Structure 1
């Protein structure tokens, strides 16, 4: 999940070859997911509290370091009772494991606007390797003088891999909650300017 600010650095080919820091503007970003419900529909949700940072040299995308932290208690599926259940030990166990984290280990440029980002996703104290497909934009200047880039990351995980195993069998076959979870991160990343001396 979470995480993938992930390829912002890759779109900055025209920038100076210096290490830079980009952070997600959370008011213009989203970390979402969807999962199969009763084998007939998809329930979508989001995490409302998160941070994401990209550090590295635009001239060397493979050197990029991406970190994201998600507060699992901020889960929001627009149904309070369901959200309360998701915070419980049946799912995220937010009391014992309040954060989900993503730390990149490899960035592979696929094209001028696409990349694959592999990293370690930690959820409920379990760490697994996850690869995200990322599409990103060229940098633009905002009306307020900030340098901004957009990145959209998608991927899939099996919740059973992280010990999130709650479900119920249906009389008609299948299960109440699917195992495959689709991740969708839409990030607006802002370049952090060095402090003037």
Structure 2
């Protein structure tokens, strides 16, 4: 894969074909998975000089979906994400490093409940191809474990066994489909001011 010719440019996240989700232990024995259905963001990639590359992502908290309406309502409440006061979770990159061919470490600031902390996310470029509609697409996948209490998400309930209902450790899951911006048309000489 010629990264420099294919991955260069401005890419927008395709929310219909992307998933930014999470999983965590529930009652110490099973996993609960969820995702945010409203995902916006872009990547500006300069493979010749990755210091000039940026990534920004914005998730609407109200779009959280764990396949259980009562649990979703609880996650949106003050106990967890407090969607009314903190409607978005955001990520803005500060550095992108290619650690191997198609393997990247994206460093940046993750903001949840107005608490911003640095985080690094490993992402793998899974492919670049043209879809049937002529759009160039890139796929990226990765995951990263965090401690939710670092971002002020602290609610829990003790279990009789001595454990807790919800694990503090949460695995963030990224399955991204990016669509490349088409090249801007050449300027014409009949512009008016």
Fold in common (TM above 0.5): yes
SS for the counterpart of 2:86 is coil
Q: Give the Cα separation in 1 of the matches to 2:50 and 2:139.
A: 16
Partner of 1:14: 5
Q: Deviations over 1:97-143 (max 9, x none)?
A: 00000000111111112111111000000001111111113421222
Matches within 5 A, 1:37-76: 37-76=26-65
* Structure 2: segments with no counterpart, 5+ residues: 188-193
> Does residue 187 of structure 1 match 2:176?
yes
Larger Rg: 2
Q: Is the 8 A contact 2:126 2:141 kept in 1?
A: no
CA-CA distance at 1:56 after TM superposition? 3.0
Q: Is the 8 A contact 1:11 1:136 kept in 2?
A: no
Partner of 1:92: 81
Decide whether aligned partners of structure 1 residues 151 and 116 sit closer, same or farther in structure 2, where only a CA change above 3 A counts: same
Match of 1:175 among 141, 164, 182: 164
The number of equivalent residue pairs is 186
Q: Is the 8 A contact 1:87 1:93 kept in 2?
A: yes
Match of 2:115 among 116, 126, 142: 126
Which 4+ residue blocks in structure 1 deviate beyond 4 angstroms? none
CA-CA distance at 1:11 after TM superposition? 7.1
Cα RMSD of the aligned pairs, angstroms, is 1.7
Match of 2:155 among 163, 166, 173: 166
Q: Give the Cα separation in 2 of the matches to 1:11 and 1:39.
A: 45
Q: Give the Cα separation in 2 of the matches to 1:133 and 1:164.
A: 23
CA-CA distance at 1:32 after TM superposition? 0.6
Farther-moved stretch of structure 1 (121-130 vs 145-154):
145-154
Partner of 1:81: 70
CA-CA distance at 1:193 after TM superposition? 1.2
Q: Give the Cα separation in 2 of the matches to 1:195 and 1:115.
A: 27
Q: Is the 8 A contact 2:88 2:112 kept in 1?
A: yes
CA-CA distance at 1:15 after TM superposition? 4.2
* Structure 1: segments with no counterpart, 5+ residues: 1-9
Q: Give the Cα separation in 1 of the matches to 2:9 and 2:41.
A: 14
CA-CA distance at 1:14 after TM superposition? 2.6
Q: Give the Cα separation in 1 of the matches to 2:9 and 2:162.
A: 52
CA-CA distance at 1:25 after TM superposition? 1.0
SS for the counterpart of 1:152 is strand
